[in-house]
Structure formats: C-alpha cells, structure tokens
Amino acid sequence: MSITRIDPGPRMSEAVIHGDTIYLAGQIGAPGENVTAQTKAVLAEIDELLARTGSDKHHILMATIWLADIADFAEMNAVWDGWVSPTAPPARATSEGKLATPDYRVEIIVVAARKAR
C-alpha cells in the first residue's frame, strides 16, 4: 500500500495518506490570538487539508485536542460544536498540555478516512 506525504518538510509532513486513512499533523492557530480565534483558524486549516487529501469533516475518525489551559475547554467547545458534523461526530479526546510556545492555546490532531471514490 502506498504512502503519500502532503507538504513534507525536514521534520514532518502536514498530512500523510496511507490507503484510505489520512493523518494530519497537529494544527495550530495564530500565536497570541485567543482560544476562539485559534480554534477557528485550526478548524479552517483542517478543512483545507482534508479537502486536499480527498476528505472532509464528515469523515473524521478521531480528533485529539490539546489545550494549554483546560480552563479554555468551554471556549474551545463553543467553536468546535458549531463546526463539527452533528450527524458524524468523531471519537475525541481533549487534554491539557504545554504546547510549543505559550502563544499557542490550542492544537488539534485529526485522523480521517478518505471519501469513497
């Protein structure tokens, strides 16, 4: 089975496709923005990457969300709930953890299936 790497760099690829499974790298928003703005930016980037790889948010299998401060859970969820497919919500985990810099408040990692071809 082939492996396709999207936007590979020296450290990572933005997405990797193996068979009909798509793995996205952790997506982050603009540093210094609030959680709402960062979450909106992250979800827009996820939409764009999934479109480039032959998928969409209705085909997300699993989402892992990292928050710099778990106190931001409700604020992030307010954006997520307006974005996620109500008929096809993915499995999801959310946790608090230090992100790459204190300017990042949210990072989302997604695994998705390709749309039927």
60-111 pLDDT per residue, tens: 999 999 999 999 999 999 999 999 999 999 999 999 999 999 999 999 999 9
Domains of the chain: which residue ranges? 3-113
Query: For 14-66, how does the pLDDT look when each residue is reduced to its tens digit (9 = 90+)?
Result: 999 999 999 999 999 999 999 999 999 999 999 999 999 999 999 999 999 99
Decide if domain 3-113 falls under CATH 3.30.1330.40: yes
Q: Looking at 1-117, which runs of residues are DSSP E strands?
A: 3-8, 13-18, 21-24, 27-28, 60-67, 91-96, 106-113
pLDDT value for 1: 78
Q: Specify whether the CB–CB gap between 106 and 96 falls below 8 A.
A: no
